[in-house]
Amino acid sequence: MEENSPSIAMVPCPGTSHLITQIEFAKRFVGLHPAFHVTLLIPTLGPPSPSMNSILQSLPPSIHFTILPQVNPHDLPPNANPASLMLLTVTHSLPSLSQALASLTSQTHLVALVLDTFSIDAIEVAKRFNLPAYVYHPTTATTLAYLLYYPKLDDDGIVVSRKFGELELKEPLELPGCMPLHAHDLLDAIPETSDDLHGMLVQLSKGLHMVDGILVNSFVDLEPGPITALQNVCPVYPIGPIVQIESNISSDSSECLSWLDNQPKKSVLYVSFGSSGTLSQEQLNELAYGLEMSGHKFLWVVRAPNDGVANSSYFNSQKKGDPLEHLPKGFMDRTKGQGFVVRSWAPQIEVLRHGSTCGFLTHCGWNSTLESVVCGKPMIAWPLFAEQRMNAALLSEEFKVALRPKVKEKGIVEREEVSRVVKCLMEGDEGKEMGRRIEMFKDAAVKAFSKDGSSTRTLENVVTKWKTLKI
* Element of type H or E holding 442: helix 429-448
Q: What are phi and psi for residue 93, nearest 5 degrees?
A: -95, 0
Spatial separation of the C-alpha atoms in residues 460 and 33, rounded to whole Å: 9
- Which H helix or E strand runs over 42? strand 37-42
Is residue 418 within 8 Å of residue 291, measured between CB atoms? yes
What per-residue string of b and e applies to 161-200 under the rule 16 or more CB within 10 Å gives b?
A: eeeebbbebeeebebebbbebeeebbbbbbeebbebbbeb
Question: Partners of 249 in the beta sheet?
Answer: none
Q: Which sign, positive or negative, has the C-alpha torsion 181, 184, 185, 189?
A: positive
User: Torsion angle of alpha carbons 296, 364, 350, 51, nearest 10°?
Assistant: -120
CA distance 458 to 241: 12
d(Cα 418, Cα 129) in Å, to the nearest integer? Answer: 53
Euclidean distance between CA atoms 249 and 259, whole angstroms: 15
* Cα–Cα distance, 320 to 46 (Å, whole number): 19
The dihedral built from the CA positions of residue 184, 187, 192 and 196, taken in this order, carries a sign that is negative
Give SS3 for 179. coil
Instruction: Please tell me the distance from the alpha carbon of residue 370 to that of residue 367, in angstroms, as a whole number.
Output: 5
Q: Residue 336 gets which letter from DSSP?
A: B
Query: How far apart, in whole angstroms, are the C-alpha atoms of residue 93 and residue 58?
Result: 25
The one catalytic residue in 64, 92, 116, 221 is: 116
Assess whether 116 carries a catalytic annotation.
yes
363 is catalytic: no
* Cα-based distances in Å from 449 to 391, 454, 455: 22, 7, 6
Rounded to an integer, what distance in angstroms lies between the CA atom of residue 364 and that of residue 198?
23
SS3 433: helix
The answer to whether the CB of 309 falls within 8 A of the CB of 399 is no
Could you give the 3-state DSSP secondary structure of residue 340?
A: strand
The answer to whether 325 touches 344, Cβ cutoff 8 Å, is no
Rg (CA), the chain: 22
Could you say which of 18, 33, 64, 296 is catalytic?
Answer: 18
Catalytic residues, which ones?
18, 116
